[in-house]
Amino acid sequence: MSDQTLLAIQDLSKVYPNGYEALANVSFSVQAGEFICIIGRSGAGKSTLLRCINGLVPITNGSIQVQGTDVASLSDEQKLLLRRKIGFVFQEFNLVGRLSVFQNVLTGRLGYVNNLQALFGYFGREHREKALSCLERVNISHRANYRADNLSGGEKQRVAIARALAQEPLILLADEPVASLDPELSWSVMADLRKVAKEEGVPTLVNIHDLDTARQFADRVIGIAEGKILFDGTPAQLDSATLREIYRNDLSNPTSRYA
Ligand SMILES: Nc1ncnc2c1ncn2[C@@H]1O[C@H](COP(=O)(O)OP(=O)(O)O)[C@@H](O)[C@H]1O
Ligand SMILES: [Mg+2]
């Protein structure tokens, strides 16, 4: 493992309590600065993979190392601290609707204040400045005082990206971040996500169902089908036979496109 390796996943398997194996022997590692899109049809295991990485679901087998440390070896408290350094962007934004945009982004700073400050929502000047600069980075600072639930979908997702950035994350994970947005908007939000990830040098994993979006933005594509990695390479290396394997019977990414 090189010292640029932020994340190393080895033989990861996930079996849900009902016995369904959603991931089988998944291995890959992620270097500083990489922008990776994970593609696959619905049910392939993309969300399960991201949830395993940030500890939202327990893994069944294998290992996940972040900066050389096996996550399984951490105490519960250390796991919580680690999770606060992993930015997560959801398809449905997951903002607190009754709070302002600014307050939502400040919650990204929770890992940097003590418990009492967190309890009373007290964030000192450096945290407020950081939150504002994150909003500026995604061109949404003019909405800082709006209630989050008054924003459009594209604006909400920019705020969610700003909140993840405010965490000063080691890794950014985004689960279908633009699937709820119309196509034109989805490309501009993806472009902003890629821009900030590259500026910060934060390695980023983005689950994307749509192949064209993945090809447009990824440095590297990982293709998953039935819980297994079928492809790991550059967008240019993706050939039509591989795409047919990944997207078998997927009507929203019809195989006729790769013929
Ligand atoms: N909590 C769960 N219990 C049992 N099966 C699950 C659970 N969550 C997801 N699955 C199954 O695991 C598979 C992968 O799901 P998911 O990771 O959500 O795929 P994707 O994000 O690629 O659509 C699917 O077949 C799904 O039905
Ligand atoms: Mg999913």
If asked whether residues 76 and 176 sit together in one domain, one would say yes
Nearest to 232 by CA among 34, 85, 82: 34
Instruction: Tell me, using a 6 A CB cutoff, whether residue 43 lines ligand 1.
Output: yes
What CATH code is carried by the domain that includes residue 61? 3.40.50.300
* Per-residue pLDDT reduced to its tens digit, 11-55: 999 999 999 999 999 999 999 999 999 999 999 999 999 999 998
If asked whether residues 66 and 97 sit together in one domain, one would say no
Instruction: Tell me, using a 6 A CB cutoff, whether residue 122 lines ligand 1.
Output: no
Of 123, 147, 168, the position where a domain reaches its end is 168
If asked whether residues 139 and 243 sit together in one domain, one would say no
If asked whether residues 65 and 139 sit together in one domain, one would say no
CA 92 to chain centre: 13
pLDDT at 115: 80
If asked whether residues 71 and 184 sit together in one domain, one would say yes
Task: Tell me the best of 14, 18, 47, 226 to mutate to test the pocket of ligand 1, counting ligand atoms within 8 Å of each CB and taking the most.
Answer: 47
Cα 130 to ligand 1 centroid, rounded to whole Å = 36
Ligand nearest to the backbone CA of 51: 1
Q: CA triplet 235, 240, 242: central angle to 5 degrees?
A: 75
Going by the DSSP 8-state scheme, the letter that residue 93 receives in this structure is -
If asked whether residues 147 and 203 sit together in one domain, one would say no
Asked whether residue 236 carries a pLDDT value surpassing 90, the answer given is: yes
pLDDT at 52: 96
Please give the Cα distance from 28 to 187 (Å, whole number). Answer: 27
If asked whether residues 36 and 119 sit together in one domain, one would say no
pLDDT at 257: 61
Cα 187 to ligand 2 centroid, rounded to whole Å = 19
If asked whether residues 176 and 215 sit together in one domain, one would say yes
Bridge partners for 172 per DSSP: 87, 204
In contact, 99 and 147? CB cutoff 8 Å: yes
* More confident position, 221 or 3: 221
Bridge partners for 63 per DSSP: 10
* Per-residue pLDDT reduced to its tens digit, 177-203: 999 999 889 999 999 999 999 999 999
- The kind and range of the H/E element at 242 are helix 240-247
Please give the single-letter amino acid code of residue 150: N
3-class DSSP state for residue 91? coil
Mean pLDDT of 84-106: 95
* Per-residue pLDDT reduced to its tens digit, 67-94: 999 998 999 999 988 998 999 999 999 9
Q: CA triplet 139, 143, 144: central angle to 5 degrees?
A: 100
Residue ranges making up the domain that contains 140? 92-168
Number of structural domains found in the chain? 2
Instruction: Tell me, using a 6 A CB cutoff, whether residue 223 lines ligand 1.
Output: no
Asked whether residue 250 carries a pLDDT value surpassing 90, the answer given is: no
pLDDT at 119: 77
If asked whether residues 68 and 79 sit together in one domain, one would say yes
Ligand nearest to the backbone CA of 20: 1
Q: What is the mean pLDDT of the chain?
A: 93
- Buried/exposed code over 86-99 (b: 16+ C-beta within 10 A; e: otherwise): bbbbbbebebeeeb
